[in-house]
Structure 1
């Protein structure tokens, strides 16, 4: 990954960090819901993510919010968000900051 791609990825991550699960006061990136961020030619982005549960009440909102946030990043051409439940989400996927915020540390 060259410096330009790294800078773009940092901007994409920052955009994703503006998306929160409405029931949890931690952004979806720190929660560990983002499994992969891949870039393809002409700055197309593919985000592979999960939710805290398949029955999450915000299941329809969160992936759309992630897509909208990433599309706002200057230089991004197109965004595809793919939802998966394999592997299923566990608390081990959370960052230290998320665990601290939620009182798990």
Structure 2
């Protein structure tokens, strides 16, 4: 049975293309994970609505989740409400990216 920790651990292997020192989970781009009978739905955002790597990131998420044994359907939904902000980062990661 697939659980949220397994999904988030796998997504933590993907680095934000515009800030490749922080993975997309730590970056705060994953808003929600839902699992139903090994089918996974991800609600995510980008650091900016005009992210040039946006479509690539969605593909990266789907491809990475396909590596989980027994995974069913994968759905990725994008939202910009609320918009991403540096507040979603830990203090350590805000320092890494130069926000503080």
* Short-chain TM bin: 0.7 to 0.9
Task: Work out which of the residue numbers 12, 27, 31 in structure 2 matches 1:35.
Answer: 31
For 1:44 and 1:71, the matched residues in 2 are separated by 11
* RMSD over equivalenced CA pairs, Å: 1.6
TM-score (ref. length: structure 2): 0.88
Corresponding residue for 1:73?
Answer: 68
1:52 alignment partner in structure 2:
47
Whether contact under 8 Å (1:44, 1:76) holds in the other structure is yes
Counterpart-to-counterpart distance in 1, 2:61 and 2:33: 12
After TM superposition, the score normalised by the length of structure 1 is 0.84
What pairs up with 1:1-105 in 2 under 5 angstroms?
A: 8-24=3-19, 25-40=21-36, 42-104=37-99
**Structure 1 unaligned runs (5+)?**
none
Question: Could you tell me how far 1:97 is from its partner in structure 2?
Answer: 4.3
Aligned residues: 99
